[in-house]
């Protein structure tokens, strides 16, 4: 009998026979894989989309960074760097290999192999973050060089998860579009290295004083070490920390095989020579004056600029010292010095730039006192007078104004040379009246005075406010035999190695005939040799003039020697009395202190005319014509004496009176030849020099409202 087969139950699938946990695990795996696949697809789409929207490499190179301006002295020394410093673009094959090796070793050692994001570096950063949780420390070490490029060019430094995701997508897209060489070139020319320097060239120039193409191994280690914490490791902020960090970079380079252990041991970052920090004090008066002129000289607004100037650092130091040592303790001082072609070699706008940025050499407008007589005598000489002509020192009244001499007496017949040497006021008034006060004003404008000039009789004694740089320019033009001298501070400007501006000196404008300038120089050198400017003597020919205003409020000395013209002003910003301040004392001494050093290496230059002694040279030393000046007589804007109650008191104070109405400037301009009359051709007017530096806005006057005759009525000193 046949046996029966046992019945078998239906076979169950693995899925049905599995436990619930297995099912959950499988679903999780499938879901995770699906989500992962979708994430990969989404990431690929995001990367592809980002890649197509990325700018070209050339556009990334020229992306706006903010313009850097680096200003150089005449010898090439960097005076100041303004704005973010990007330096020049260094191409990949011009970057020293040690610099590339150092930055890769310390910032992204797997740079050559990853796709823009380094999984190993990310894992290490996460592990470190977990270990440091609760300490407030950020996740560090996860960003590759490519991610840092993405952040530098496209993103901010805001630290959050969203920004890190965008950074990663950008990094992957950048790697898909550009080569490793291009990415590293972007990085080394864009990343911030501290001290305002972006890119290795700016960092190299700032810290070492030379281009990045010449970086040594030790210098490269210093720069590579800055990226982690630029402000902390900056050589200018903490040289010891910078050296210590550079040593770490060298060790990492040896560890990664970029250099040998022997090379690392033989390289000492402490031997790196750092570039000296630019001076930030008195030179800033000069740079603040010169740099605004760039707007009218060039059109470049993006490329980094190298501005080469006329400033002589040796002369600048001498000028700074001369003002600080000679200006009265309660007063300010200013100095400007021009070379024979108008180049500004030194400029001091005050005792301390940090304490006051107000530039008294170019912005302040003050009464020049008898220094203004330069224009009176120029007008007289041009009209036909000679320095040996006889004139009569006698009482004179012009439109109700009666100038007086310091001596309290009149000396009768004297020569023009004697009158100028001892700054005799009556003669200046008579010569001004004879030439015409409008003619004197025109002469001042012809020689570069840019401020309003009144044409009332007292103007011959310097009642119109002027700028120190304008007065210095005028004296320089006399020293150049009557040829216009235009102050300038910028010699050339380069952008990315190309010269985009080159200054050209214009010596074609003759202001007065050479014989007039020669006679004026005759008078000026006699004033220094035997007259009011004797304190300005420096052992070689000097021509110049002092100026002192009412109640010792302003002291001036302006003069030239050996092709250099220097003007000095001293006084208080609030125009209060400075006891003992006279043009022939502190200002003349400051002039001598500066010029003695400034012209020391220049050949001695004799003037065309030798010093001729004035008539009273052999009189006793207490001669009234060069003793202490009187306080002068206060006058209104029309040159008429004020009432006795408004004259200066013995303590130097005075009563206030309402300001007089200003003269019609349009009428003055027409009378002085500054503007031709309507429908009439202009004749006999000197041509206007080109390249006149733009002047800053005129500062509000701080003097009393009425115009006053300067103290230096035959000023004495």
Q: Which residue has the tokens 């960090």?
A: 245
Using the predicted structure, report yes or no on whether residue 497 has a pLDDT greater than 90: no
Mean pLDDT score, 1-12 = 55
The Cα-based distances of 710 to 452, 461, 570 in angstroms read 17, 6, 14
pLDDT-derived band of residue 173, with 50, 70 and 90 as boundaries? Answer: confident
Sign of the dihedral through C-alpha 535, 536, 537, 538: positive
Would you state the pLDDT for residue 573?
95
pLDDT-derived band of residue 648, with 50, 70 and 90 as boundaries? Answer: very low
Would you state the pLDDT for residue 599?
96
pLDDT tens digits, 429-481? 999 999 999 999 999 999 999 999 999 999 999 999 999 999 999 999 999 99
> Quick one: DSSP state of residue 213?
G
pLDDT tens digits, 565-619? 999 999 999 999 999 999 999 999 999 999 999 999 999 999 987 767 666 543 3
pLDDT tens digits, 346-378? 999 999 998 899 999 999 999 999 999 999 999
Does this model's pTM top 0.75? My answer is: no
Using the predicted structure, report yes or no on whether residue 402 has a pLDDT greater than 80: yes
Q: Which residues pair with 391 in a beta bridge?
A: 414
The number of beta carbons lying within 10 Å of the beta carbon of residue 573 is 15
Short-list 189, 98, 199, 183, CA closest to 147:
183
Short-list 147, 176, 152, CA closest to 44:
176
> Quick one: DSSP state of residue 410?
-
Give the integer Cα–Cα distance in Å for 458 and 439: 14
- The enclosing H or E element of 560 equals strand 554-561
Greater confidence (485 vs 58) lies with: 485
Would you state the pLDDT for residue 194?
82
pLDDT tens digits, 670-682? 434 545 544 433 3
Is 509 within 8 Å of 564 (Cβ atoms)?
Answer: no
Token pair of 626 as six digits: 């060069």
Give the integer Cα–Cα distance in Å for 227 and 248: 13
Token pair of 433 as six digits: 């009246």
- What 3 state SS string does 569-594 have? EEECCCCCCCCCCCCCCHHHHHHHHH
Would you state the pLDDT for residue 122?
65
Is 673 within 8 Å of 340 (Cβ atoms)?
Answer: no
pLDDT-derived band of residue 711, with 50, 70 and 90 as boundaries? Answer: very low
Give the integer Cα–Cα distance in Å for 66 and 657: 52
Using the predicted structure, report yes or no on whether residue 17 has a pLDDT greater than 60: no
> How much of the chain exceeds pLDDT 90, in percent?
48
Give the integer Cα–Cα distance in Å for 460 and 378: 12
Mean pLDDT of the chain: 79
Would you state the pLDDT for residue 618?
36
Would you state the pLDDT for residue 692?
34
Spatial strand order of the sheet with 490-495 comes to 78-82, 69-72, 305-309, 490-495, 498-502
Is 296 within 8 Å of 694 (Cβ atoms)?
Answer: yes
For 257: left if phi > 0, alpha if psi spans -120 to 50, otherwise beta; the answer is left
Would you state the pLDDT for residue 691?
37
pLDDT tens digits, 373-396? 999 999 999 999 999 999 999 999
């Amino acid at each position: 009998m046949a046996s029966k087969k046992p019945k078998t139950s239906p076979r169950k699938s693995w899925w049905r026979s599995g436990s619930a946990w297995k099912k959950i695990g499988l679903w999780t795996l499938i879901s995770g894989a699906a989500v992962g696949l979708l994430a990969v697809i989404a990431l690929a789409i995001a990367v592809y989309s980002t890649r197509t929207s990325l700018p070209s490499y050339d556009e990334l190179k020229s992306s706006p960074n903010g313009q850097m301006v680096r200003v150089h002295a005449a010898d090439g020394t960097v005076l100041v760097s303004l704005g973010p410093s990007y330096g020049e673009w260094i191409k990949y094959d011009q970057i020293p290999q040690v610099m590339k090796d150092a930055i890769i070793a310390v910032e992204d050692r797997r740079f050559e192999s990853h796709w823009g994001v380094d999984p190993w570096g990310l894992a290490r950063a996460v592990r470190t973050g977990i270990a440091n949780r609760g300490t407030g420390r950020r996740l560090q070490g996860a960003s590759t060089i490519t991610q840092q490029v993405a952040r530098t060019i496209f993103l901010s430094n805001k630290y959050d998860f969203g920004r890190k995701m965008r950074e990663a997508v950008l990094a992957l897209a950048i790697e898909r579009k550009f080569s490793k060489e291009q990415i590293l070139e972007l990085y080394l020319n864009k990343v911030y290295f501290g001290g305002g320097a972006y890119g290795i060239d700016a960092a190299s120039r700032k810290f070492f004083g030379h281009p990045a193409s010449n970086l040594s191994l030790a210098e490269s280690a210093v720069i590579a070490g800055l990226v982690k914490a630029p402000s902390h490791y900056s050589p200018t902020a903490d040289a010891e920390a910078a050296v210590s960090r550079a040593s770490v970079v060298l060790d990492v380079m040896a560890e990664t095989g970029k250099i040998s252990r022997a090379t690392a041991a033989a390289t000492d970052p402490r031997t790196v020579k750092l570039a000296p920090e630019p001076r930030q004090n008195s030179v800033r008066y000069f740079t603040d004056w010169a740099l605004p002129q760039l707007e009218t000289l060039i059109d470049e607004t993006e490329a980094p600029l190298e501005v080469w100037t006329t400033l002589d650092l040796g002369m600048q130091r001498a000028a700074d010292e001369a003002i600080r040592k000679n200006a009265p303790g309660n007063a300010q001082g200013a100095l400007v010095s021009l070379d024979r072609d108008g180049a500004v070699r030194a400029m001091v706008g005050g005792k301390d730039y940090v304490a006051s940025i107000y530039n008294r050499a170019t912005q302040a407008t003050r009464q020049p006192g008898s220094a203004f007589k330069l224009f009176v005598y120029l007008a007289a000489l041009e009209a036909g007078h000679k320095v040996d002509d006889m004139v009569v020192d006698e009482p004179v009244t012009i439109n109700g104004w009666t100038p007086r001499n310091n001596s309290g007496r009149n000396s009768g017949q004297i020569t023009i040379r004697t009158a100028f040497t001892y700054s005799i006021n009556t003669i200046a008034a008579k010569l001004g009246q004879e030439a015409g006060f409008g003619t004197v004003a025109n002469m001042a404008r012809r020689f570069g005075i840019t401020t309003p000039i009144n044409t009332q009789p007292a103007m011959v004694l310097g009642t119109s406010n002027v700028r120190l740089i304008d007065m210095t320019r005028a004296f320089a033009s006399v020293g150049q035999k009557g040829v216009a001298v235009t102050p300038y501070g910028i010699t050339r400007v380069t952008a990315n190695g190309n010269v985009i501006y080159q200054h050209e000196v214009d010596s074609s404008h003759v202001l007065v005939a050479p014989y007039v300038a020669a006679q004026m120089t005759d008078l000026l050198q006699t004033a220094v040799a035997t007259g009011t400017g004797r304190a300005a003597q420096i052992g070689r020919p000097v021509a110049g003039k002092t100026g002192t205003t009412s109640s010792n409020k302003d002291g001036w000395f302006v003069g030239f020697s050996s092709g250099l013209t220097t003007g000095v002003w001293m006084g208080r910003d609030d125009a209060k009395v400075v006891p003992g301040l006279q043009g022939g004392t502190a200002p003349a001494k400051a002039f001598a202190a500066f010029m003695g050093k400034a012209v020391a290496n220049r050949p001695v230059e004799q003037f065309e005319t030798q010093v001729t002694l004035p008539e009273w040279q052999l009189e006793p030393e207490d001669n009234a014509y060069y003793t202490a000046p009187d306080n002068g007589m206060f006058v209104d804007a029309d040159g008429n004496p004020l009432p006795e109650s408004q004259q200066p008191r013995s303590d130097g104070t005075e009563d206030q009176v309402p300001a007089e109405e200003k003269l019609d400037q349009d009428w003055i301009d027409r009378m002085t030849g500054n503007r031709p009359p309507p429908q009439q051709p202009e004749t006999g007017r000197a041509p206007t020099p080109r390249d006149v530096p733009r002047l800053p806005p005129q500062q509000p006057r701080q003097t009393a409202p009425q115009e006053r005759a300067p103290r230096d009525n035959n000023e004495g000193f």
